[in-house]
């Protein structure tokens, strides 16, 4: 079964290393508002979708493709309404360890253990970590949490 996720993860690793990784994952503390955080991250994806749609509509208008006005205005309003809801929801999340708002990225210094994915900023990396790995790291204290469904 080459090519499956399990094979690509286990290839080249000893069984002790795999057990250690599984134990480390289950030993992480559970985030207190995990289900709400998952829904917030899903809402971020929806807002990104509307932002991308707005960008495509604007490019379409710039190169002369007719875009119905109702579609453009409706997408803009959906982006604004869902965006405000997203900001309001994300401002309620605080790290269980340091009590800072980890879903709002400020301009201050980040912890050395804060995680980034490629060129993403810390906030986008936290969203991706919650959506794909069900684990996130607070950008301010570096504490890692498990997010279970």
- Each residue's pLDDT tens digit, 83-138: 999 999 999 999 998 999 988 888 888 899 888 888 999 999 999 999 998 999 99
Instruction: Answer whether residue 149 shows pLDDT above 90.
Output: no
Residue ranges per structural domain of the chain: 29-146
Dig out the tokens for 123 from the structure.
Answer: 């906030």
pLDDT reported for residue 9: 52
Question: Once rounded to an integer, what is the mean pLDDT over residues 136-146?
Answer: 91
Neighbours of 147 (CB within 10 A): 20
Instruction: Answer whether residue 82 shows pLDDT above 70.
Output: yes
Gyration radius from the chain CA atoms: 19
Instruction: Answer whether residue 1 shows pLDDT above 50.
Output: no
pLDDT reported for residue 5: 53
* Structure-model confidence comparison of residues 29 and 63, the more confident one: 63
pLDDT reported for residue 2: 46
CA distance 91 to 110: 18
pLDDT reported for residue 31: 84
CA distance 114 to 102: 11
pLDDT reported for residue 74: 94
* Structure-model confidence comparison of residues 72 and 26, the more confident one: 72
Question: Once rounded to an integer, what is the mean pLDDT over residues 141-145?
Answer: 91
């Amino acid at each position: 079964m080459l090519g499956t996720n399990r094979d690509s993860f286990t290839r080249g690793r000893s069984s002790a290393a795999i057990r250690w990784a599984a134990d480390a994952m289950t030993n992480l503390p559970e985030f207190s508002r995990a289900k709400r955080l998952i829904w917030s991250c899903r809402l971020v994806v929806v807002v990104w979708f509307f932002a991308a749609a707005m960008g495509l509509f604007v490019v379409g208008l710039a190169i002369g493709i007719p875009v119905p006005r109702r579609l453009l205005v409706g997408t803009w309003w959906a982006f604004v309404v869902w965006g405000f809801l997203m900001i309001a929801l994300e401002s309620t999340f605080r790290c269980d360890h340091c009590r800072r708002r980890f879903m709002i990225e400020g301009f201050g210094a980040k912890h050395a253990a804060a995680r980034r994915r490629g060129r993403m900023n810390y906030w986008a990396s936290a969203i991706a970590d919650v959506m794909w790995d069900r684990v996130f790291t607070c950008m301010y204290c570096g504490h890692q949490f498990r997010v279970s469904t």
